[in-house]
Structure 1
Amino acid sequence: MQAGILRRSMRLVCLLVSVPCFASVSVPDDTGQAITLASPARRIVSLAPHTTEMLFAAGAGPYIVGVTEFSDHPPPARAIPSVGSGVSLDLERILQMKPDLIVGWNNGYAGVQLDKLQSLGIPVFRSEPYDFATIASSLERLARLSATEPAGRAAAAAFRERLGQLRETYRQRRRLGVFYQIWRTPLMTLGGSHLVSAALRTCGADNVFSDLKQLAPTVTIEAVLKANPDVIVASSGEEDDVLAVWKRFPRMKAVANDNLLVIDSELLNRAGPRILDGVEMLCRKLDAIRMQSGARR
């Protein structure tokens, strides 16, 4: 309590004498590493589409000076200069931007690139949201780093409230087994630690490959046939008929009942605040399937 009173007193003094006055701030990133800034971040480079969305939602959008490809939401993000793709960054351009904070996806090769940038002395916030709670807390932590706490707190509270409403709405629905296809060749799905598995649980459904530890494992057609899901969901972004391969197996429950869905991958696969739009869309589609199956009985 004394520390809080001291901080408020320092802010009041700074206002009275009309000089900038900032206390250093330190928050943990998603790996538990402390990120400490001497003053609020004012030149941020975002290295993943979902971190760009988080920063805007947290009120830090005006301070983003660089993004990666596909950082297309919200619309103002499209006007921010690109520093490359998620797997091929222009490190020289990033350094020219003189960032005081880098926020990026801590996964695979992207994590290796974050290591390089951190070795150059730039504070790096590693984003690794594998559950909804981490998305909400990320909004608050990023807001603290950019001194936009009111926006961050409001965004996090709205996220938590909406998530709670979705869970309450669908928690007693009849369980459905779902195969979630993110790529056709090779055939890929998402494991139990991915947010999509949490999205399915929120909707009263289960990922038939939730026991797989990899984030995006490759599976065989035979494995999917053995799992015999009630529903097959595909991410948009591949060929027009991404589910055509399954129509060769009319005895599968999902095919026999025409329970083949395509979901907007930008909404559901990105670990940002808009994921709840994708969750709500998924829940409604699965509920429609429950209603149809009930009518067929």
Structure 2
Amino acid sequence: MPACTKKLILSCLTLLFVLLAAGCAPSAALSPAVPPADLANTAYTPVTIHNFDAAGNHLDYTYRHSPTRVAITHPGATELLLELGLEDRILATLAPYGPPLKRVAERYSKLTIMAAQFVPSQEEMLEMDPDMIIGWSHNFSESALSNVQFWQERNIATYIMPSSLSKTKPTLEDSVYSLVNDMGQIFGVRDKAAGLIKNYQDRVAYIEQRTSPIQHKKTVMVLQNQSNGQFSLYDSSYVINLMIKTAGGIPVADDIAFIVGAEKVLAYDPDYILYVSFSKNGTEDLSDEDATAQLKQLDELSSMRAIRENHIINMPFFTVNNGGIRTVDAIEKIARQLYPEHMQVPARPIR
């Protein structure tokens, strides 16, 4: 089964569970997005951005004005735009997969939330009348919004989140930093974007400096409970495996994605389990203690060494699949838990 199909099914299964448990987020009527006065009076230099179609083929698009009616179907992009101070540009977005980061939560709560659970129909999107759509790669399939060419022919820009592509070896440069840089260019906030990237690069450099001399690296399995004895093991096309490597860990079972039974999980003996957690109410993340307790309740996995020794790294689903401003925070958390004796950076909560 193609990796992109596995990603789509894995994401939809998880999000369906979360949304059914939490209830659908309330939606608000769309209102016209009015360009800020300073934007309307500012000359815009056209910029060509290198992005992709749903199959991962490179596709250039030239922005001749800064978008002011942006529809977002990937909440990770919403958090990034809020971080860059671009809430006035967001026409509508999906509800976050769990609570948004605290520093952007209030502004996220004031955005128009789409009624669709995963992605609106093509007709609904056309009715919104956006001038840009940012989303997952699988959002731009014929069974969802249609391909990127459909929208670009209507002078509606498309931007696929790089982290959602089916890649074999994603890097921070092409999956995270490129996203931040592109948003900085598109929306004319280059200095803010460059500052974020520099902050991320400095922090990653410190982590790599502290962990690279370690001779015996810890192995890590990325595990998500899909209930009823079924589990997801994230493969190497997911950015979470890159995050583990950046933190000095060694991903195991990184050639497997999709849904597997307990016997497949038990075939591995990782030093640590990175547990992809989500709360049932969808309004707050599980604490590390609650996530550990949740994993320990799975009798079929109780014999695993990592579970017996409490070597469990709790990582909320929204953080694992964010592809944006949570990424380096998460790398720091992984490194601290794998190598506490080597990491002297103060604990930085993901909020």
Shorter chain as denominator, the TM-score bin is 0.7 to 0.9
Q: Which deviates more from structure 2 when the two are superposed, residues 88-97 or residues 59-68?
A: 88-97
In the TM superposition, residue 224 of structure 1 has moved relative to its aligned partner by 2.3
Distance 2:327 2:252 in 1: 21
Give the equivalent residue in structure 2 for 1:29.
51
Please give the secondary structure, in 2, of the residue aligned with 1:227: coil
Asked whether 1:190 is paired with 2:234, we answer yes
Distance 1:24 1:102 in 2: 18
Contact 2:179 2:324 in 1 (8 A): no
In the TM superposition, residue 246 of structure 1 has moved relative to its aligned partner by 5.5
In the TM superposition, residue 288 of structure 1 has moved relative to its aligned partner by 4.4
Cα distance change of structure 1 residues 172 and 222 upon mapping to structure 2, 3 Å threshold:
farther
Could you tell me which of 111, 120, 124 is aligned with 2:158? 124
Distance 2:158 2:205 in 1: 31
Please give the secondary structure, in 2, of the residue aligned with 1:33: strand
Contact 1:57 1:151 in 2 (8 A): no
Could you tell me which of 170, 178, 194 is aligned with 1:137? 178
- Which amino acid in structure 1 is aligned with residue 240 of structure 2? V
Please give the secondary structure, in 2, of the residue aligned with 1:270: coil
- Which amino acid in structure 1 is aligned with residue 150 of structure 2? S
Question: TM-score, normalization: structure 1?
Answer: 0.79
Distance 2:210 2:179 in 1: 25
- Which amino acid in structure 2 is aligned with residue 177 of structure 1? T
Q: Across the two proteins, how many residue pairs are aligned to each other?
A: 270
Asked whether 1:163 is paired with 2:197, we answer no
Higher relative contact order (CA 8 A, sep 6+): 2
Larger Rg: 1
Give the equivalent residue in structure 2 for 1:104.
135
Once the two structures are superposed, residues 242-296 of structure 1 have per-residue CA deviations (whole angstroms, 9 ceiling, x without a partner) of: 31365556653324433234223333331112121122112212224999xxxxx
Contact 1:171 1:202 in 2 (8 A): no
In the TM superposition, residue 28 of structure 1 has moved relative to its aligned partner by 0.9
* Root-mean-square deviation over aligned CA pairs: 2.9
Once the two structures are superposed, residues 134-191 of structure 1 have per-residue CA deviations (whole angstroms, 9 ceiling, x without a partner) of: 2112111122111222212222222222222222222233311222112243211110
Contact 1:233 1:260 in 2 (8 A): yes
Cα distance change of structure 1 residues 163 and 290 upon mapping to structure 2, 3 Å threshold:
closer
Once the two structures are superposed, residues 58-80 of structure 1 have per-residue CA deviations (whole angstroms, 9 ceiling, x without a partner) of: 44332111111217342212211
Contact 1:49 1:270 in 2 (8 A): yes
Please give the secondary structure, in 2, of the residue aligned with 1:95: helix
Contact 1:103 1:125 in 2 (8 A): yes
Cα distance change of structure 1 residues 22 and 204 upon mapping to structure 2, 3 Å threshold:
closer
Could you tell me which of 307, 312, 316 is aligned with 1:264? 316
Gaps of 5+ in 1: 1-17, 292-297
Structure 1 or 2: more helix by fraction: 1
In the TM superposition, residue 92 of structure 1 has moved relative to its aligned partner by 4.5
Could you tell me which of 142, 147, 171 is aligned with 2:188? 147
Give the equivalent residue in structure 1 for 2:328.
276
Give the equivalent residue in structure 2 for 1:63.
89
Contact 1:230 1:254 in 2 (8 A): yes
Please give the secondary structure, in 1, of the residue aligned with 2:267: helix
In the TM superposition, residue 211 of structure 1 has moved relative to its aligned partner by 2.6
Distance 1:260 1:139 in 2: 30
- Which amino acid in structure 2 is aligned with residue 208 of structure 1? V
Cα distance change of structure 1 residues 133 and 59 upon mapping to structure 2, 3 Å threshold:
farther
Could you tell me which of 249, 252, 268 is aligned with 1:205? 249
Contact 1:233 1:263 in 2 (8 A): yes
Distance 1:152 1:290 in 2: 30
Give the equivalent residue in structure 1 for 2:78.
52
In the TM superposition, residue 37 of structure 1 has moved relative to its aligned partner by 1.8
Distance 1:252 1:290 in 2: 26
Distance 1:36 1:232 in 2: 43
Cα distance change of structure 1 residues 89 and 28 upon mapping to structure 2, 3 Å threshold:
same
Distance 1:90 1:165 in 2: 44
Gaps of 5+ in 2: 1-39, 164-169, 281-289, 344-351
Q: Report the identity percentage.
A: 18
Distance 2:204 2:83 in 1: 16
